[in-house]
Structure formats: structure tokens, C-alpha cells
Amino acid sequence: MMERFDGYIFPVVCSTNFLISCLLFSKITREQRESYMDEIFHVPQAQKYCDGKFTEWDPMITTLPGLYLLSVGVIKPVMWLVGWTGSAVCSTAMLRFINVLFNCGNLYILYLLICKIHPKDKSRATGRRVLSALTLSSFPVLYFFTFLYYTDAGSTFFTLFAYLMCLYRCHKASALLGICAVLFRQTNIIWVAFCAGTVAAQKLDEAWRVDSSKKRDEKSPSQISLRLSGVMRLAHFLLKYLTSPLNIKSVILSTWPYGVVALGFVVFVVLNNGIVVGDRTSHEACLNVPQLFYFFSFTLIFSLPLSLSYNRLVRFVQSLRKHPFLFLLITALSLLLVWKFTFVHKYLLADNRHFPFYVWKRIFQKHELVRFVLVPAYLFAAWNFMDTLNSKSLFWIMAFCMCLVAATVPQKLLEFRYFILPYLLYRIHIPLSSLPRLLLEFALCTVVNVATIYIFIQKTFQWSDSTAVQRFMW
């Protein structure tokens, strides 16, 4: 009887989620019928594809045409089957609805990922798995863009799907899905590399266990000491592994599909003379190192119901006492990085429709010393981030952190949408929490979603030089 009940939980949750999303979609679309923000570029481009004009391209669009190709590939056949014709076929509302479908797909993929990553205790963890997947699919920054014609929902779907296939060792399928993810957003090549990195990390874990068994050391890769002896042993192990032709051959044979995707991406960058497709002046890469600190703070806030506890605070204080010079060194380095490598994009200072505008204005622009005063908070957020991942192997953490740096640091613009994928990948890997904590996390996401959607619909304003209605959004 319990198994039958468990089998009904996920379909019921999916159906309810889809119904609520459709109701919200209907409300938002009625309030904002015309294209808004970046939709003024995306919607006309998709409509050109819908009309068969595949050679026309808006130079202001910076991403590849994955969203438009998929939209037309789904909408046109369905409309043909039901007999609908005319301009309504690829209307703004119809195009936006594609992302509602992606939201359902993200819920399913997240549930499968959580089941794969946390396979133990299936009988008692079903509700917690479903609740975790539901919470993450309604993650505020991602969920908001479910109702607008943006690339985020589709980009997230294909990237997570690629990672799921990677975990099931279907690497060719994973690489193909990775291509789809890159067609939605070029920076997803980083998460294709992460898939390859997880395969390499598994190989290193296996080699470490063999090496440890020979030395009668039972420590797992997640328990490597941070002392000089531990670091030296790790460096020696990596040097030994990476200089072995057999080991390199084994990794290449396991990851070659991702290598093909990477090679194709390099060819694209060379031919395109850069990663960005259009409007390159507003999307220039730089070493904006504090982006990493912003991400850690962002992660701490949204994972607070799960990660923060009295025991963790005690462990942090103990770590400070145990490694005072290490923390002082990291603090000094962080202050230097904040001082020399903080960049502020012109859009962040000019566009008062985005929440990051107000974060920057009301926190960072209060005083020039604020960005330095926040460094201890950044350090705690970073420590908390690493501590919640302590069940993962060091090699997996290294792969993830390298991709995290690559995904955040080169971005000059502080944009919370860039944090969606790294946050979700982080969140699905931390251990399943208790049901009360998961309910608190779900409540937090729900409150934020209700607030942001309410503000978007109700708290409109106008610019002095425009008659158009403006709305606040992520």
C-alpha cells in the first residue's frame, strides 16, 4: 500500500505544479501581453524562424538560436495538427508557453538526478526527494523566467539532462544534449566540461583507493588532510597519475564525446571570432573575481534552511581557531581581490528594473568600504559552501569549483540568472535534509516567488522619457 502511495506522489505533484504554473502564466500574460525586456529581441527572432526566414538575424542577440529552433520545431507541428493558422501560431504567449513545458521537464529531470545521486533509503526518502525536486524546479530566479520568453528554462533543462546521462554513463547521449545546451547559451560549454570532469574525478577516486590500499590508508578522497603532508601526498599522486600514459588513455577513452563537443566549440569560437554572437561591446569578459563571492552569498541565502545549524557554526569557529593563519591569509587575499578585481557593468548602474540594481545601490554604494567589510561574510559563505559538500570526493569538488570559477568570474555583469545552474548543481549534491528543513526551503522559495511575481504584476512604474509600463524583475 505504501509503495502504491509513493508511486502516486510524483505524478500528483507534477500535475499540481503544471496547473499552478498555467494559472500564473495566464495571469502574467494578460498583464504583460507585449514583449518585455529581452523578449523584444527573442520574440521577433523566433517569429522570423516561424515564417521560415532562417537567414535573418538580429545583431543584438548574443546567444545561439537553440531556443528559436526548438520553439518552432514544437509549435509548428502541433498547430498544424490542430488546424491553427495565422499570426497566433507564434504569438508572444505561445512562445512563452514553451518555458512552462520546460519547467515540467526540469521538475522531472531534477527528481531523477536526486534519485540517482542519493540512492540510499528509497522507501523512506520518496517524499523528501519529490519535495527537493519541486523546490528546485520552483527556484525563484529560474521559476520567474518560466513565464517569459527567455533562454534560462531550456538552458537549464538540457544542461541538467546532459548531466543525468553522464551519471548513467551514457556519454554520447550526454554530449549530444550538451550541444543542445550550448545552442541555448554558449557558456554551457563549461558544464559540458564539468560532465567530463566528473568522469575524470571517478577515475582519480578509483586510482586513489588503489593507491591507499597499497599504503594501508583507508581515508577516502573526501578526507584528504589540508596539512602540508596531505597536500604533498595529493600533489605527488596527481603528478604520478597524470604522467602515466595508460591513465591518460583511460580518461580520454571515457571522455572523448565531450572532447568532440569541446573541439567543435573551439572551431565555432575561431570562426565567430569570439563566444558572443552579437552585441559584443556589452558582453566583454573580465576577471571579476568578486562574482565568486556574490555567488557564495547568494547560495548561502537560498540554502539557509538546509545548511545553517548550530553545529555548523561551532565547526566554523573551531576551524578559525585551528587554522588562524590560513584564514588570515585567505582574508588578506580576498581583500586584495575585491580591491583590484571588482568591475561594475554599465547595465547594473543604469537599469532600475532589475533587482541587482537595488542590491548594488543600497548595499555596495552606501560606502566605498562596504565591499571590504563584507569579506568576512563571504568567507563564511564560502566555508559553508565547502562544508556542505564534504561528503563528495576532493576530485569531484575540484572539478566543480574549476567550472564554477569559469562560469562566474569572467562575467562583468552581476546577474542572478548566471547563478542558476551552479546553484542547482550544488544543491542536488548536498545530502538530503530532514522533512522540516525541506519544508522551510520550499516555503522560502514560495514566499520569494509570490513576492517577485506580485511586484512584477502590481508594482509598475514609468520612466520620464517613455510612456511604456516598466516592471521589476530578476
Question: In a 3-state reduction of DSSP, which class is residue 91?
Answer: coil
pLDDT in tens, 151-180: 999 999 999 999 999 999 999 999 999 999
Task: Indicate whether 315 pLDDT > 60.
Answer: yes
Task: Indicate whether 218 pLDDT > 60.
Answer: no
pLDDT at position 225, please?
58
- Cell numbers that stand for 225 in this block: 588532510
| Residues 142, 152 contacting (CB under 8 angstroms) | yes
pLDDT at position 5, please?
41
β-pair partners for 473: 354
Give Cβ neighbours of residue 163 (< 8 Å, ≥ 6 apart).
Answer: 113, 174, 191, 194, 195, 198, 425
β-pair partners for 461: 470
The residue-averaged pLDDT of 74-86 equals: 80
Q: Which residue has the higher pLDDT, 373 or 346?
A: 373
CA 269 to chain centre: 23
pLDDT in tens, 104-151: 999 999 999 999 999 875 556 788 999 999 999 999 999 999 999 999
User: Alpha helices, DSSP H only, in 32-65?
Assistant: 39-50
| Residues 360, 344 contacting (CB under 8 angstroms) | yes
pLDDT at position 442, please?
97
Alpha-carbon gap, residue 252 to 247, rounded angstroms: 9
User: Whole-prediction pTM value?
Assistant: 0.93
pLDDT at position 227, please?
64
Alpha-carbon gap, residue 140 to 154, rounded angstroms: 16
- Cell numbers that stand for 288 in this block: 571579476
- Cell numbers that stand for 337 in this block: 581581490
> Phi first, then psi: what are they for 461, rounded to 5°?
-155, 175
Cα R_g (the chain), whole angstroms? 23
| Residues 25, 97 contacting (CB under 8 angstroms) | yes
> Phi first, then psi: what are they for 185, rounded to 5°?
-155, 125
Task: Indicate whether 464 pLDDT > 60.
Answer: yes
Give 2's pLDDT tier (boundaries 50, 70, 90).
very low
| Residues 422, 408 contacting (CB under 8 angstroms) | yes
Q: 84 vs 51, 99, 169, 410, 435, CA distance in Å?
A: 14, 20, 42, 45, 46
CA 314 to chain centre: 30
Specify the range with the lowest mean pLDDT, choosing from 55-59, 80-84, 458-462, 465-469.
Answer: 80-84
pLDDT in tens, 7-56: 678 899 999 999 999 999 999 999 999 999 999 999 999 999 998 899 99
pLDDT in tens, 238-270: 888 888 888 899 899 999 999 999 999 999 999
Instruction: State whether the Cα torsion 240-242-243-249 is positive or negative.
Output: positive
Task: Indicate whether 342 pLDDT > 50.
Answer: yes
pLDDT at position 471, please?
94
Q: Which residue has the higher pLDDT, 211 or 450?
A: 450
Task: Indicate whether 223 pLDDT > 90.
Answer: no
The residue-averaged pLDDT of 222-236 equals: 68
Instruction: State whether the Cα torsion 226-383-386-474 is positive or negative.
Output: negative
Task: Indicate whether 465 pLDDT > 80.
Answer: yes
Closest CA to 132 of 158, 111, 156, 160: 111
pLDDT at position 274, please?
87
Closest CA to 66 of 180, 198, 209, 193: 180
DSSP 451-474: HHHHHHHH--B--TT--S-B--B-
Residue with cell 533509503: 121
Percent of the chain predicted with pLDDT > 70: 93
| Residues 136, 424 contacting (CB under 8 angstroms) | yes
DSSP 247-286: HHHHHHHHHHHHHHHHHHHHHHHHHHTSS-SS-GGG----
Instruction: Please report, for the chain, the start and end positions of each structural domain, with discontinuous segments joined by +.
Output: 284-433
